[in-house]
Each structure stands twice: as structure tokens, then as C-alpha cells.
Amino acid sequence: MTNHLYQNDLPDGLDMGPVVAIDCEAMGLHAHRDRLCLVQLSGGDGNVHLVQIAKGQREAPNLCAMLENPDVLKLFHFGRFDIAGMYHTFGALAAPVYCTKIASRLVRTYTDRHGLKTLVQEMLGVDISKQQQMSDWGAEELSAAQLDYAASDVLYLHRLREEMNKRLEREDRMELAQACFDFLPTRAKLDIAGWPETDIFAHA
């Protein structure tokens, strides 16, 4: 595994392939209040590309081009948060997308534990550390431990997707899952537009 750290944007000409795993670190979980600090990406080859986002930064042309590229599938775990955070920061809406947390909720109905650590442990037999989860991601210099933690959030998503797809197919829920994935960018836009906790499909 190799971590590549960049400032402000991905480098010109970087091609991570047709499926890119993405995760974000922010100062908190409220997109309007808590700024985006780090975006980590992997093409599934064991390399992780980490982009440190400056305070007040509103542009990242190469990153945004990849997010909006219709030929690149963006792979997330709890994509709703990451898609909303990057959309709020840069105005770029990621699509098409896949979310392993949504897939897990559709096929692992025998549990209410759908966190990444649990999924990677159960489905891949790998134990990842969450020690740096509560960390100051806005620091000017990130520690090696922070970078390794951030990298671990995208390193296993390609393999997780493969396993999730097997279960979705087995349980005849792939079509339903795809419909959820297709709606996810719109759900993120609703979050940013002011309907974060409201189910607009509810009767009351």
C-alpha cells in the first residue's frame, strides 16, 4: 500500500480507472458548519491518493472532473455524507455512485451493524483500526497515523462491492439497490438544500 498526499487537487493526468473508491474527512458531520478537510481515493490497486483541502477552498478542477465523469463509478461507504460534503464545497455532484452501506442494509437484514469496520471484518476477514476516527482533520500537517486511517477507508471498498453484489444478486435485490444508488446524489442535494432529517415521502 502506498499513500500519495496532494494539496488542493488531484494531479493532472491521474487515471484511477473505471471504479474509484472515495471517502472524505471533515471537521464534523454537518456540511454547512464543518468544513471538508481531506478526500481520499483509490482505484483498487492498493494505492491511495489523498487530497488535503485548504480552509476556504472552493475549487478542485481535476477532482470535480472525476466526480462528474459519467464513465467512472464512484464507490462510497455512506456516500450520502461524502457526496453532500463535496457538493457543498465544490458544487460538483458525484454520479454515478455505489454505496456499500446501502447495499449492506438491503442484504444484511439480520443485523443493525452496518459500519465499515464491521463489514470489512465479517465479509473480508480484515480488522481495520478506527483509532483516528475522532481526530483533528483540519490540522495543517496530518500525521502518518491519520493518513493510514484515512487510506483504510477506501482500500477495501472494491472487494466489498464484489461481495455485496453477490448477495444482492442472490437475494434478488440488485435492481432495488441500483435505484437507491441512482437516487443518492439527489438525497445529498436535499441534505444541502435544507431537508436533512425529513423523509419527503412520509405521510406526515
Query: pTM for the whole thing?
Result: 0.95
74: helix, coil or strand? Answer: strand
Please give the pLDDT value at position 132.
60
Query: Which segments in the chain show pLDDT lower than 70?
Result: 130-133
Beta bridge mates, 4: 49
Q: What is the pLDDT of residues 159-183, one digit of tens each?
A: 999 999 999 999 999 999 999 999 9
DSSP 26: E
**CATH number of the structural domain 2-193:** 3.30.420.10
Q: What is the pLDDT of residues 78-111, one digit of tens each?
A: 999 999 999 999 999 999 999 999 999 999 999 9
d(CA 201, CA 147): 39
